[in-house]
Chain A
Amino acid sequence: MGDKKKWFQLDLGLNKKQVVAGSCGCGKTSGGCGSHAPEPPKNEHTISAEEFDTAVEQELMEETMVGQTRKDGFQQVFDVKMDRRTAFRKLTASLLVGAGAVHTSCSVTAGEEAKEKAQIDWEEQFKGNYKLMTQEEKQATVDRLVRSYQLRKKENIKMSATDASKDVLFGYAFNISKCQGYMDCVSACVEENNQDRNSQMQYIRIHEMKDGEGFKFNEADDNYYHEVPAEGHFYMGTQCFHCDNPPCVNVCPVQATWREEDGLVVVDYDWCIGCRYCMAACPYDGRRFNWSKPEVPEDEINKNQHYLGNRLRKKGVMEKCTFCVQRSRAGKDPACVEACPTGARIFGNLLDPDSTIRWVLENKQVFRLKEDLGTEPKFWYFMD
């Protein structure tokens, strides 16, 4: 029965006693089908659903207190076998196909769901740092997050854990003479990256500057409220520059933010402790903090996610532009590049000698902001 289960079940040490529910016409086991009563795991005498739930809760607590602290916490420290997670992954995969059935389940199943939810929450709370995880551990946490979302919201999301490819180093160029301040990039970014709508968090700022005055950021208006382009002004966008020598990464006390092999500076939202030291260290205003619980309306959530990218955040953690890691690692342009109606934004692989970004660097007069700080941003500005 073990391999045919449609959802994950805690091993409460009762499996031996458990009666196989038997398969019915629809091919499902234990619950969900409705053609016969499912057999609760420890239902030897008749108990009410509530009693059962509390009992399960208790068992779960015991299990988590005693067993889990040793087994599931801190995997990267105490090398732990991954059986449970592998089982999980298979289950999740099958669930992605037949998710609907689970949700029509009866109260007993709800108990199992609560159990599973608690199990996921527990494992999530005590998982390790993503940067140091093995490939399997990465996949396991992604699967848990997908499953957790499914349990909570009854909807499926797609989350990837794609790693950096060899021979890729992402770079970005911004054409100051092209940008007209339409803000389509900002709009696309917010939608793509599931940013908090309440606080109107935005990774990109467009600064409106006066012609002939040079780059006076302090006099620039990054919050204009009129038709664009305004006469006698030019526009300049800033965001995270994905420095090659990022000060934010150096200062993080727990290595919750780091530079990936392809040059992206990313944050493990679950490892971040919210000290905001990186924010103080960033010379480019590239980082944002979730001061309250981020809210995104259900129908606006971008369900194509990456663990290091646009997955839903919680309150009290840092986040930032990732060059849309969920898109860029798959070969797409970041949302801002795609949305820009003027072609002011150029994105590509710095290591590829034939890439457009390389052409720009070699043939245009490029510069970067605050180069004297030695941060080596991978974000260049140029003019026609």
Chain B
Amino acid sequence: MGTFRAFRHMVKDSLDYITHGSKTYHIWMIFLTVIMLIGMYCYSIQLDEGLSVTGMTDRVSWGLYISNFTFLVGVAAAAVMLVMPTYVLKDIDFKQAVLIGEGLAVAALVMCLAFVVADMGGPSVLWHMIPGIGVFNFPNSMLAWDVIVLNGYLFINITIPLYILFRHYQGKEAQSKIYIPGSIISVLWAVAIHLVTAFLYQGLQARPFWNNALLGPRFLASAFAAGPALIILVLAAIRKFSEFKIEDKTISKIAMIVTVAAQINLIMLISELFKEFYAPTHHSESAYYLFFGLEGKSALLPWIWTSIPLNILATVLLTFHKLRNNFKVLYFCCFILFVAIWIEKGFGLIVPGFIPGPYGKIAEYTPTWIEIWVTLGIWAMGAFVFTMLAKTSIGIELGKLRYKKKKVLESETA
């Protein structure tokens, strides 16, 4: 009973804690709320009129929503790059970052699910997907797998930090016996969510651009570059705006991960480009469209030619220790790498899959403003969720949020 009471207190304290803060904090939250509200308004228009308010058509039937979903799965999976060293390899330098990383994973997963829901034609019948009351096409449909692994990963990433924080909140040490198995599962699980998401596309014989064996590994490599890059940026922000101590060593170690992943990603990119352009078949047309445009249609050119140089620049800069250890350069690199991979793994991957269509027809896709605002709204929601999670966990870690001594005793006797 005492545990429940402690938990209730933790929720209450956290709520209290996240509603108070500095002026900057309030402005930030209000800003996010406004964007979320605009996004919700746009989504209500979409609900009312149907998906015709988006730029998607029968020819390009997935767009900005699914692109962001794909990218964010990668971000979510990246939390594992911090979990594994900390919990499994007992590398203490990551300890400070790991809770932040898992909070980021939770926020990314929430965004993923929101993007999937936003993309659905019939959100009111989504219960058809709930195992037990709906009908699940398991194991045939990769989307069914994806729903399972995403929700499972969300569950793991909520419970582990929750357990640790809850223990710390009560002023006790978290028992490694309990959370280590969870961490090991989450490590496997993180690889699974990203591979399964890649298989979602990879398994379609109808779309040669996706139907290639490198897609899954490349997803992983790009995810382990973009995700930790984002974590570095977030840690930098936390360092600046809170009293939470994050050592330089931690950031340097994460930067190392980013570098290696970015290098592997670049090698795979070269391999892919070689295959598409050295001996082009009609299956290479999507790649041609992406990089050079087809029949005068070239909407994606500015994007991909932003992404590729940024990607290369960031990877090259990160490769040199001197540059990487200069935090200003590091943050800049992380930022451009994040943007580059967002473009490349987002609509640089999804949209060309549909172009040219099954019969070689080229119809381009441009997102509408409604779509863009819904997307921004969901990103704002992610940021909102993450800010709340991070603030609470920082509060607990710093000891600002503690269960009262007296009650701890009560809970122990009970």
Q: Give residues in A with beta carbon < 8 Å to B.
A: 73-74, 77, 125, 128-129, 131-132, 199, 205, 207, 216-220, 222, 238, 247, 250-256, 270-277, 279-285, 288-293, 314-318, 373-375
Contacts and interface: CB of A to CB of B under 8 A. Distances in A.
Contacts of A220: 359-360
Interface in B115-158: 116, 119-122, 124-126, 128-129, 132-137, 140-144, 147
B99 to A, nearest CB: 33
Contacts of A281: 204, 206
Contact of A252 (B50, B122, B137): B137
Contacts of B61: 276, 279-280, 289
Given A218-B361, A281-B206, A316-B50, A273 B135 contact: no
Given A220-B360, A316-B51, 5 more contacts: A218-B362, A271-B128, A276-B119, A276-B121, A284-B358
Interface string B373-396: 000000000000000000000000
B97 interface: no
B161 interface: no
Contact of A289 (B58, B126, B134, B140): B58
B135 A254 contact: yes
Contacts of B353: 280
Contacts of A205: 359
Given A281-B206, A291-B52, A316-B120, A273 B129 contact: yes
A86 to B, nearest CB: 24
A253 B128 CA distance: 9
A53 B50 CA distance: 31
15 contacts: A199-B52, A238-B359, A247-B204, A247-B205, A253-B147, A271-B125, A271-B128, A272-B121, A280-B62, A280-B353, A284-B358, A285-B357, A317-B122, A318-B121, A373-B206
B134 A279 contact: no
Interface in B42-77: 49-52, 56-58, 61-62
Contacts of B58: 279, 285, 288-289, 291
Contact of B128 (A129, A277, A289, A374): A129
B121 A275 contact: yes
Contact of A285 (B50, B52, B359): B359
Given A132-B135, A218-B361, A272-B121, A280 B207 contact: yes
A290 B135 contact: no
B291 interface: no
List 3 A-B pairs, minimum CB-CB distance, nearest first: A274-B121, A218-B360, A316-B121
Contacts of A276: 61-62, 119, 121
Nearest to A258: B137
Contacts of A314: 122
A275 B143 contact: yes
Nearest to A293: B50
Interface residues of B, number: 46
A207 B126 contact: no
B354 interface: yes
A2 to B, nearest CB: 32
A225 B220 CA distance: 48
Nearest to A282: B206
Nearest to A283: B206
Contact of B135 (A217, A251, A271, A284): A271
Given A129-B135, A250-B141, A275 B120 contact: yes
Nearest to B145: A253
A280 B121 contact: no
Nearest to B59: A285
B124 A125 contact: yes
A158 to B, nearest CB: 26
B39 interface: no
B142 A254 contact: no
B103 interface: no
B356 interface: yes
A291 B133 CA distance: 27
B143 to A, nearest CB: 4
Interface centre among B203, B204, B206, B362 (most CB of A within 10 A): B206
Contacts of A254: 128-129, 134-137, 144
A273 B207 contact: no
Nearest to A276: B61
Interface in B168-194: none
A315 B50 contact: yes
Contacts of B140: 250-251
Contact of A247 (B143, B206, B357): B206
B359 A222 contact: yes
B206 A280 contact: yes
B121 A290 contact: yes
B204 A217 contact: no
A216 B361 CA distance: 11
Contacts of A315: 50, 121
A205 B58 CA distance: 13
A272 B128 CA distance: 8
B57 A291 contact: yes
A219 B294 CA distance: 12
Contacts of A252: 137, 141, 143
A286 to B, nearest CB: 8
Contacts of A255: 135-137
Contacts of B120: 273-275, 316
Contacts of A251: 140-143, 203-204
B125 A273 contact: yes
A174 to B, nearest CB: 15
B257 to A, nearest CB: 32
Contacts of B50: 290-293, 315-316
Contacts of B124: 125
B358 A285 contact: yes
B360 A292 contact: no
A285 B124 CA distance: 27
B52 A374 contact: no
B122 A274 contact: yes
Contacts of B142: 251
B371 to A, nearest CB: 12
Contact of A283 (B132, B205, B354): B205
B91 to A, nearest CB: 39
A272 B144 CA distance: 14
Nearest to A217: B359
Nearest to A238: B359
B358 A291 contact: no
A124 to B, nearest CB: 10
